Amino acid sequence: MFYPPAASGAPQLFEYSPCHAHFHFDGFALFNLYDLNSVIAVKGGKRGYCMEDTVQTMFGHHIPCKNKYDCTNQGIQPGWADLYPNVLDCQWLDITGISKEKWYIYEICSNVDRKLHEASNTNDCKRFPVYIPEVPFALNTTPLKYADVLKQRNISEQTAPSIDLEPDTNL
């Protein structure tokens, strides 16, 4: 179980998000976009998050059945996750100036400031292939699947960047 102290009790750990109108646990994640040579194409900023139980990911007698934490009382229970969908405002990288019709690698790293004590930090970063088209996809509230992007662009998985990613992974 993770629950940070209240924002009022530890202001150095939080920042107010005018975009979401509540406090976020500061500097929790870092997002970057790399070209296929591992050179940063778009440097993302550190992002803060409101830690809350939004989706139950595990079930069992030892997993709480009801969400307990929200943005006013932050935390994440065992068996729960904090979901940030693709339509949530202020959660993006600005790709305006990069070359289009190319593959990139999208990386997210969590606990970048090491404010959370973990048994291991080896799983704190994950990379995903991302294809940036010339004409952006229409805004869609349903996440794109890696296989759908390949199919839409008429690209075989053999020509996509070699990254350990299942075809049904949400992008």
pLDDT tens per residue, range 87-130: 666 677 888 889 998 999 999 888 887 777 777 888 789 999 99
SS3 (DSSP) at 148: helix
Q: What integer is the mean pLDDT of 129-145?
A: 67
Does residue 35 lie in a domain region? yes
Q: At CA 148, angle to CA 143 and CA 154, rounded to 5?
A: 145
Does residue 86 lie in a domain region? yes
Residue 98 near residue 41 (C-beta atoms within 8 A): yes
Does residue 151 lie in a domain region? no
pLDDT grade, residue 171 (50/70/90)? very low
Q: At CA 155, angle to CA 153 and CA 158, rounded to 5?
A: 160
Please tell me the predicted confidence (pLDDT) of residue 29: 80
Does residue 160 lie in a domain region? no
Please tell me the predicted confidence (pLDDT) of residue 158: 46
Query: Pairing mode, if any, of strands 80-81 and 14-17?
Result: unpaired
Does residue 115 lie in a domain region? yes
Does residue 5 lie in a domain region? no
- Tell me, yes or no, if the pTM score tops 0.85: no
More confident residue, 88 or 54: 54
Residue 31 near residue 47 (C-beta atoms within 8 A): yes
Q: What integer is the mean pLDDT of 129-133?
A: 89
More confident residue, 75 or 47: 75
Does residue 2 lie in a domain region? no
Domain carrying residue 25 = 11-136
Q: Domain count of the chain? A: 1
Does residue 64 lie in a domain region? yes
